[in-house]
Structure formats: C-alpha cells, structure tokens
Amino acid sequence: MSRIHTLILLATMSSVAVPTWSADNPSYSAAMAQFQRATEGDKDAIEGAAQKWREVSAAHPQDPVPRAFAGAATTLLATTTLLPWRKMSHVEDGLALIDKALAMLTPAHDTELRLNVPVSLETRFVAASTFVNLPSMFNRSARGAKLLAELQSGPLFDAAPTPFRASVWMTAANEAAKAQRADEAKALWQKVVASGAPQAAAAQAKLKGQ
C-alpha cells in the first residue's frame, strides 16, 4: 500500500480548515510516519503503528480515517506472529475496524478533507488497499477491487491531488497484474507515468518488467 502521497502532502499542504481536527497535528503525523515504515517492510514498526492509530481514533471517534488506518495496521500485526489463531484474530479485528470506518461514511465526508484528500476517498482507499492484499481465504479481494474501481469514477477523484490518484492507480494496476489483466495494468501504470507523480519511476519500472 503506497503512502508516498501522504508524505508529500504533509510537507507541502496548504492551510485547510476541517470541522473537527487538523490532519497535520503531531499525533496524526506520528501515526502516519509509523504506518509508512510498517508498510515498507519494517516489522518493528507495525505494533507501534497499530497502537498510534488506535490512539488517534479513540481521540477522534467520529472520524473514519484514523479508524480505517487503525484497522489496516491491525491486520499487519498478523505478520508478527507464528500462531495461526493470533494471525486470524489480528486480521479479523482489523477488518472489523475498517468495516466500521466504511459504515461511518456520509455524503458530508465527500467535502471534508484530510491532507487535501476527501475523507470518503481516503477511507475507501485504505480499505481497498488492505482488502486486495489479504489472502484469498478472507474473501475480500473482490470487494477491494470494486472499491478501487469506484474510487476512480467521478469528479471527487479527478479533483484529488495527483500523488493520491497515482497511489490508487498503482494499487489498481498491481491488482490487475496479479489477476492477469495485463492490458488493464499497463494502462494504469501508463497513467501514473503520464501524471508525473512521485510514483512515476516505479510505474515505469513495472512497464519495463512486462
């Protein structure tokens, strides 16, 4: 799950008013940085990421974004244990949090922003990215693919920051490639390259590797 767009926006974000709290506050930034490390393969960061996002979510219970991230980080805890029942428990707990975050979304979240990205888009992207990366036994891949398709339709996505859109395209392309839909994957990687987003080099490498 790529979070490059988040790091860039943390550094360059303009002043954005949000109804309840600002996504550039220290607790949010610390949780995001920890989560970034965890998703890049630092297993020592996973437990801290899950804890930090749970704390942010508890402090802002009406906000679906930290709840979705708490769920995503909790599913990653499954990679930190060898016990099958613990793995299942972590994934199920994480999915329960993500499902609650999705259920919280209302039309108002289309205009409420976190790091210049609508809350509805960010929440659905975290969910989709988690779903498509789970083992097939959890039966979430189809829902994740559907969420990725829905994310890319409509004016909200078109108006979202380029790094965010590129993250969605990369995730959708990787999922298409995994499902052996080579033409779809190629078209999405080409979109990333054409966008000039920070993920362009990674997308170009994917294209060359075809």
Digit-coded pLDDT (tens) for 77-119 = 999 999 999 999 999 999 999 999 999 999 999 999 887 899 9
Residues in the chain: 210
- 24 is written with which tokens? 């550039």
pTM: 0.86
> Which residues, including other chains, have CB under 8 Å from residue 135's CB and lie 6 or more apart?
none
* Architecture of the structural domain at 4-140: Alpha Horseshoe (1.25)
Give the model's pLDDT for residue 111: 93
Angle at which helix 182-195 crosses helix 162-178, to 10 degrees, equals 160
Phi/psi of residue 18, nearest 5 degrees: -125, 155
Give the model's pLDDT for residue 32: 87
pLDDT less than 50: residues of the chain: 1-21
CB 166 within 8 A of CB 192: yes
First-to-last alpha carbon distance for the chain, in angstroms, is 21
Give the model's pLDDT for residue 209: 83
> For the chain, what is the mean pLDDT?
86
